[in-house]
Structure 1
Amino acid sequence: MKEPVYIGPHPAAAPRLEELMRQVALGDQDAFASVYEAVAGPVLGVVRSVLRDRAQSEEVAQEVLVEMWRTAARFREDLGSAMNWVLTLAHRRAVDRVRSVEASAARERRAGLLDRTRAYDEVTEQVETRLEQEQVRRCLRTLTERQRESVTLAYYRGLTYREVAELLTLPLGTVKTRLRDGLIRLRDCLGVSV
């Protein structure tokens, strides 16, 4: 049988990937260059199979190779081959990117929905305000005509007690008494405790 022809050094002379990883863990840049050359293509292939986007795949593949350099000391030969370890890093990083993109898209969708709908608190506040206004109107109808007139001028038109007295041509004390009695009746009708 004929022996195969090798271009470059004989494969038996080249260190195994696992040995190179041990050297990378010690900070050997030449060993890293050899590992990089051996795994860059397969890493990009795994990442592209998950992401299906060329630009993102290249970015994630570079992140994986940098992570491989930083965490080479974590590689344990007794748990599997160096290639499997690196490809596992690649697959996990690609899946993380997919999850991140999906989460970002979901956040944007939720934010878009919130922009199109009124805030719950705003609607509740409007309903409560309308109910309170109706209750005040109902309670105002329980006042005598003179009390209602004095309260309306003082609290809805913003006149002072003296201005109410002048407008109604009544003594100031009489206006104060009507206002006090009217406010007590309103308080009781509205169920407000002092």
Structure 2
Amino acid sequence: MERVARGDQDAFATLYGAIAGPVLGIVVKVLRDRAQSEEVAQEVLIEVWRQAPRYRPDKGAVMTWVLTIAHRRAVDRVRSAQAATARERNTASREHARPYDEVSEQVETRLEGEQVRRCVRGLTELQRQAVSLAYYGGLTYREVAETLNTPLPTVKTRLRDGLIRLRDCMGVTA
């Protein structure tokens, strides 16, 4: 390890032969994905080469030091993947949770309702009765005529005139 710390590539090749298998083994146990494990194992081996001067023999065996690095790097990869998945899930839920602004929609609906009520109040009493029975009561023109005891053509005229006044009051273009 001292020779590796001084940059001896032959010493690293020997170390590599001894640690590559166990490094890959521990990383695969954590990640459970062969392709990702190979990538992380390669990162660990590069880190061992770069960090060799930091190794302290009095703190533990070389293999323990290397496998600790491998385990930590694999756990970091798992955490990173979990965080990315959580971010994507949160972003997706925020985008799909409210496809429109609920408050604006409620305000607009309330204002439209108030405008309809105001416009209906602007109809004559006869028009208001016919429109209310037909559109709010769900009656057919014939049923409105029977309910009001009024000839069918008169009911049709009242409804037509009432709807024209409502359209004009609401500002709807024909």
Give the TM-score band, short-chain normalised. 0.5 to 0.7
Q: Secondary structure at the match of 1:27?
A: coil
Say whether 1:78 aligns with 2:58: yes
Q: CA deviation at 1:135?
A: 4.5
**Residue 101 (structure 2) aligned to one of 122, 125, 146:** 122
Q: CA deviation at 1:86?
A: 0.5
Q: TM-score, normalised by structure 2?
A: 0.60
Provide the residue aligned with 2:75 in structure 1: 95
* Distance across 2 between alignment mates of 1:157 and 1:133: 12
Provide the residue aligned with 2:135 in structure 1: none
Say whether 1:36 aligns with 2:8: no
Q: TM-score, normalised by structure 1?
A: 0.55
Q: CA deviation at 1:58?
A: 1.1
Q: How does 1:148-163 map to 2 (within 5 A)?
A: 156=171
After superposition, the CA RMSD in angstroms is 3.2
Worse overlay, 101-110 or 36-45: 101-110
Q: What amino acid sits opposite 1:68 in the alignment?
A: V
C-alpha spacing 1:120/1:47, structure 2 compared with 1 (3 Å): same
% identical aligned pairs = 50
Q: How does 1:1-194 map to 2 (within 5 A)?
A: 20=1, 22-115=2-95, 117-119=96-98, 122-135=101-114, 156=171
Give the gaps of 5 or more residues in structure 2.
Answer: 123-166
Q: What amino acid sits opposite 2:21 in the alignment?
A: G
Q: CA deviation at 1:41?
A: 1.0
Q: Secondary structure at the match of 1:104?
A: helix
Q: CA deviation at 1:156?
A: 4.0
Q: What amino acid sits opposite 2:71 in the alignment?
A: H
